[in-house]
Chains A and B, each alone.
Chain A
C-alpha cells in the first residue's frame, strides 16, 4: 500500500448521488476518490453530444427534486449550475384538441372548465390534498429513516419526530396520508375528476419509471414523489439544468474537486474488497487497486451486493432480501435532434404550453392497456410519452433555429418477448427501431411532421440504460418506489441507514432512502452517516445536516 492508492473514502460510481456524497465528505476534510466505469461522469444525470451541434440529456431530462439545501451547501451555482423552470404542458387528443396545463392558476382553471366545469372546481381540492402530502413528506427527505425495531437513541429520536409530525396531522389527515401512500393514482384521480383527458394528463407522474399501472396500488405515492420537489420554493415545479442534466453532475464534481477530491474514470469496480467483515478498498476492471477503510457504492443495491461483493462475506437472509428487491425496467428513451420546431397543428400560435411536457394519452383506460402490454413482455402499443423540447428555453442545447427533443417512453420491458421467449438479449437494432416507430406514431398525434424533422435520433431500451449507466434492468429509480421498498424498508428492512452488513461499506445511491430522481438526498444522507459512524468529529456541516 502506498500513499497514492490510499484514501479515507472511495465512492464507487460517479452518478450525481455518488458525487454528492463525495463532495460533502471532501468538504469535511476527508481524502476522497470517486471511481467511474464510463469515460465520462454523471451516471443518469448526464449531457452528451452524439450529433454535432446538439446536446442530449440522455437519461434523466428534467429537474425538480434536487434539494436546494444541497445546491446551497455545495455552492453548485458557483460551479456553473443554473436550473431554469419550464412552463406548463399539454395532452393532445386524436381529434385536434388538447388539454393545456398552465402554471398560471386562472389560465389553468379556464382551460379545465373548457373540458369540465366540475373538474375546474375540483382542482383546488385535488392540489391541496397533494400539497398536504408534500408538506408531510418533504422534511423526511434529508433525514434518516428510523429503524422502528431499534432502541438506539437516534432511531428513537427520528421515530419521535415521525410520530410528532404524524400526530400533528390530526386523525383525518393521518388517515388521508396512509390511504394516499397505498392507493392507486387512478383511484385517487377518479375521486376528484370526471374528464378522461384531464385524468390521463395528471396520471403520468404516477407511473413514470415504475413497473405498475395507473390502477396498481402504490402509484399515488409515485405521483407524490414527482411533486415533492421544488424550484426556488415553487413546490411541484419542474425545470431544466442549463446545458442538460449533466450540468448538475458536472457542478457537483467541480465542487468536489475544488475541495481536494479525485475522480478516476474509465474503469469500473470489479470487486469491493473486504476481509473479516471489514471493507478494505476496491479492485478495478483495469487492474488498479485502491484502499480505504470506507467504501460508498453509488451502484444500485442489486449490482453492489450480487455482482461486486464476495457472497461469503454477507449474511444469507440479507442477500436473499436483495435478490428479491424489485428493480424492473419499464421505460425507454428517445433523444432527437430536430432541424426546426415541429408543427403542432392543434396548438394556438405563440402558446406557452409547448415549452412544457407534452403527452398524447387519452384516458386512464388507455394507460392501463399500455401497462398490460408490458406485463407480457412487449412495449406498449400506445405508450405513455413524456416529451419536451428544452432547446426552446435552454439556448445551449441545439444550433439557433434547430431544436432538441427528449421523449420518455413507458412502458418498455427489460426482458422483451420475441417468439415466446422473454429475454433482455432480444433487444437489438431491429427491435429498437420497431419500438421507435411505435413511439413516432404516437408522437404524430401531437406533431404529425415529426418524422420529417428528425436529423438524428438515439433510441435507448432498458437494456442500453442498464449497460451504459449500470442501472439494473434499466430501472431509473434504482428500485421501485412502492411502500414495501420505501422509508425504513429501503432498500431492505433493517438496512435503511446507508450502512451495509460489511463494516465500512455504505450505499449512497437511489436504492437507499429516500429513493430515485435527481435529488442528491441519498448521497447527502449517506455522507452524514459516514461522518457520524466513521470519523471522530462526526458532524456534517450545512443545511443537509
Chain B
C-alpha cells in the first residue's frame, strides 16, 4: 500500500468534525493529540471577538480525560496532587497541578468532583501510566475516557443566553460549579478564557445533537465556532498557561532540568504542605525558597507582539525569554508571559525584550521596556456574576 493511501496515517476526525468542517472556510487544521482540530475556521480576529463580545464554540474533545472511581479515589488524588483536593466539594471543579518526585510539574488540569469518590481529570498531556502508577496500592479504578467523552467549550458574554435559548438552565451555576443536566449531559462553569463561559460534556455519539441544539438556540446570540488561535489570544489575556509553551511538562522533556516547580510557575498557591504527604513534597519544601526562575506577566512597551523575544537586564545580560506575547485586542495593551531567571526576576526592573520585526523584506530589532503586572490582563466582572448577564 502506498503511503499516500495508508488509512492509519494522518489525523482522524473528532466527534464534532462534520460540524466544524461545514464552517471551515480557512482550511486550517492542526494536530491536537491526533485529531484534526481547527486553528482558524474563518478569521482569527472575528472568532476572537465572538468570544469576547458574543459567544463562541470550541471543540475540546481531544483533551485527555480520565475517570477515577473507587473507595480510595479522593485519598489517592490527594496523594497525587499538590493541592488539598478534599476542599473540592462534590459538584465542584478545581484547577490542579501535579509533580514528580523532584517537584517538577508534570501537567496542570481540571478535576471534576462528580460524586462521592467519583472524579474526572481533564488535562492536556497523556497521563494514563502515571495515574495507574499513582493508584497502585489504592482501591481505585482508572478509565481513559478521552475517546468516549466529547467536550465543547461555550465562552463569551452571551454564552448564558445561548444555553437559556437552548432550554438548558444553568442560572444557579457559580464559577467552577458543575451540573449533571441529564444522564448524558454535564455542564460546568469553566473555561480557558477568563470570561463568562461553560464547558459541556457528553457521550461521543451525542456530540452532533448537542451542537445542533446549541446552534438553534444561539441564532440570535452571535454564536460562532472558533479555532485555537482565537482561544490562545484569550487565554494569554486571562494569564493562563499552556503546557509545552509556558512551561515544559516534565514527562515531555528529555532534558530533565528543563522542568519547573510550581513556585517557578507562580502556582505556589496550589501547593499545600499541611495536607499530608504528596508527590514531590519533600523536594518542593527545599525548593520553595530557591526558584531558579519565575514565570512573569509583563506589559510590553510599544505595539509589536513580543513572542519568542529574549529578555535582557540593565547590564545587557540575557536573563530570560518571552513564552507568549500578543497585542491584546481587549485590554489594548501589549502583553506577555515570560520566564526570567533569578535574581533578575525578583528585581524585575530595567528589563527589556529584544523584539525582531520583519517588514517588507527588512528585518529590524527594537528593545521594549517590560513592566511587571501582578493580575490577569483581562478579568471582567461578568465572568463571576451569578446569575450571569445575558449580554
Contact = CB atoms under 8 A, between A and B. Distances in A.
Given A84-B49, A85-B49, A395 B332 contact: no
Interface in B150-204: 157-158, 161
Contacts of B331: 77
B376 to A, nearest CB: 12
Contacts of A392: 222
Given A72-B332, A82-B52, A400 B221 contact: yes
Nearest to A72: B332
Interface in A208-233: 231-233
Contacts of B69: none
Contacts of B220: 400-401
Contacts of B66: none
A87 interface: yes
Interface in B74-118: none
Contact of A396 (B49, B333, B391): B391
Interface string A389-402: 00011111000110
Nearest to B329: A232
Interface residues of A, number: 24
A68 B54 contact: no
A134 to B, nearest CB: 14
A359 interface: no
Contacts of B327: 232-233
A77 B303 CA distance: 16
B45 interface: yes
Given A87-B46, A232-B329, A400 B161 contact: yes
Given A395-B54, A395-B391, A85 B332 contact: no
B43 interface: yes
A72 B161 contact: no
B378 interface: yes
Interface in B329-366: 329-333
A280 B391 CA distance: 47
A400 to B, nearest CB: 5
Given A68-B303, A87-B46, A233-B303, A242 B329 contact: no
Nearest to A104: B43
Interface residues on B, range: 20 to 34
B53 interface: yes
Interface in B364-391: 378, 390-391
A234 interface: yes
Interface string B41-85: 001011001001110000000000000000000000000000000
Contacts of B330: 77, 82
B53 A84 contact: yes
Given A85-B46, A395-B54, A400-B161, A68 B332 contact: yes
A85 B45 contact: yes
Q: Tell me the dominant secondary structure on chain B's binding face.
A: loop
Contact of A72 (B43, B52, B333, B390): B333
A392 B54 CA distance: 10
A391 to B, nearest CB: 10
A77 B378 CA distance: 9
Interface string A179-202: 000000000000000000000000
Contacts of A393: 49, 53-54, 222
Contact of A395 (B43, B45, B221, B378): B221
B304 to A, nearest CB: 9
A71 B53 contact: no
Contacts of B158: 395
For B46, B222, B332, which residue has the most chain A Cβ atoms within 10 angstroms? Answer: B332
Contact of A394 (B43, B45, B53, B332): B53
A234 B331 CA distance: 16
Interface string B321-332: 000000101111
A401 B54 CA distance: 14
A76 interface: yes
B72 to A, nearest CB: 47
A395 B303 contact: no
B333 A395 contact: no
Nearest to A243: B391
Contacts of B332: 68, 71-72, 76-77, 83, 232
A77 B328 CA distance: 11
Given A68-B332, A82-B53, A232-B327, A395 B222 contact: yes
A150 to B, nearest CB: 31
A234 B53 contact: no
Nearest to A399: B220
A392 B224 CA distance: 12
B311 to A, nearest CB: 21
Given A233-B327, A395-B391, A103 B53 contact: no
A84 B50 CA distance: 9
Contacts of B303: 68, 233
Nearest to B332: A71
Contacts of A231: 329
A84 B49 CA distance: 7
A76 B327 CA distance: 15
A103 B54 contact: no
B52 to A, nearest CB: 7
A400 B55 CA distance: 14
B53 A242 contact: yes
Interface in A68-96: 68, 71-72, 76-77, 82-85, 87
A228 to B, nearest CB: 15
Given A72-B333, A77-B378, A234 B45 contact: yes
B56 to A, nearest CB: 13
20 contacts: A68-B303, A71-B332, A72-B332, A72-B333, A76-B332, A77-B331, A82-B330, A84-B49, A84-B53, A85-B45, A85-B46, A87-B43, A103-B43, A231-B329, A232-B327, A232-B329, A234-B45, A393-B53, A395-B53, A395-B54
Interface of A: 68, 71-72, 76-77, 82-85, 87, 103-104, 231-234, 242, 392-396, 400-401
Given A83-B332, A84-B53, 11 more contacts: A77-B332, A87-B43, A103-B43, A232-B327, A232-B329, A232-B332, A233-B327, A234-B45, A395-B158, A395-B161, A395-B391
Smallest CB-CB A-B distances: 10 pairs: A395-B391, A232-B329, A71-B332, A396-B391, A84-B53, A401-B220, A400-B220, A84-B49, A77-B332, A77-B331
Interface of B: 43, 45-46, 49, 52-54, 157-158, 161, 220-222, 303, 327, 329-333, 378, 390-391
